[in-house]
Amino acid sequence: MKGIIRFEKNGKLSPRYVGSYKIIWKIGTVAYELDLPLELEAVHPVFHVSMLRKCIRDPSRIMPIENICITEDLSYTEVPIVILDRQVRKLRNNDVAFVKVSWRNNVEEMTWEVEEKMRKEYPQLFTT
């Protein structure tokens, strides 16, 4: 099942999937009903085929549901752990500083964010 937060930053290049769930039955030609656990009872169990992926039995690629805190609007927030790198890029006539951030909810995910914005939202990362 695909995650729903931070699409404006990560886009289609860093998809997130939760668990592996059994397909109960096929609805029409492009929809499937899944057997979801009780923790996800607020989520509608019918999904379009584009929201699903074939289960790959690689434990490192499956995010345990216990690590995800889902809010009322069925989203979750990611928290930055550490700043890994800094770069200054020339955008038209301006020099813009970017920082490479490692995020908590997905260990493998690292994104480039605007340094100024990160300093405002997470000043604790820039104490040194």
Q: Render pLDDT for 23-64 as a digit per residue (tens, 0 to 9).
A: 899 998 999 999 988 877 888 889 898 888 877 666 666 666
14 plus 62 within the same structural domain: yes
19 plus 49 within the same structural domain: yes
Predicted local confidence at residue 39, as pLDDT: 79
61 plus 98 within the same structural domain: no
C-alpha of 90 from chain center:
28
107 plus 59 within the same structural domain: no
- Convert 71-110 to b/e letters by CB count within 10 Å (16 or more is b): eeeeebebebeebeeeeeeeeeeeeeebbebebebbeeeb
20 plus 52 within the same structural domain: yes
- Coil, helix or strand at residue 41: coil
More confident residue, 36 or 19: 36
- 55 in a domain, yes or no? yes
Which of 78-82, 92-96, 103-107 is the least confident region? 103-107
Task: Domain count for the chain, please give it.
Answer: 2
The whole model's pTM is what?
0.44
The secondary structure of residue 118, as a DSSP letter, is: H
Q: Take residue 22 and report the two structure tokens written for it.
A: 């059994």
Statement: residue 105 has pLDDT above 60: yes
When pLDDT is cut at 50, 70 and 90, the band that residue 1 belongs to is: very low
Predicted local confidence at residue 20, as pLDDT: 78
When pLDDT is cut at 50, 70 and 90, the band that residue 5 belongs to is: very low
Range of the domain at 114: 80-126
Which of 12-21, 36-45, 89-98 is the least confident region? 12-21
11 plus 58 within the same structural domain: yes
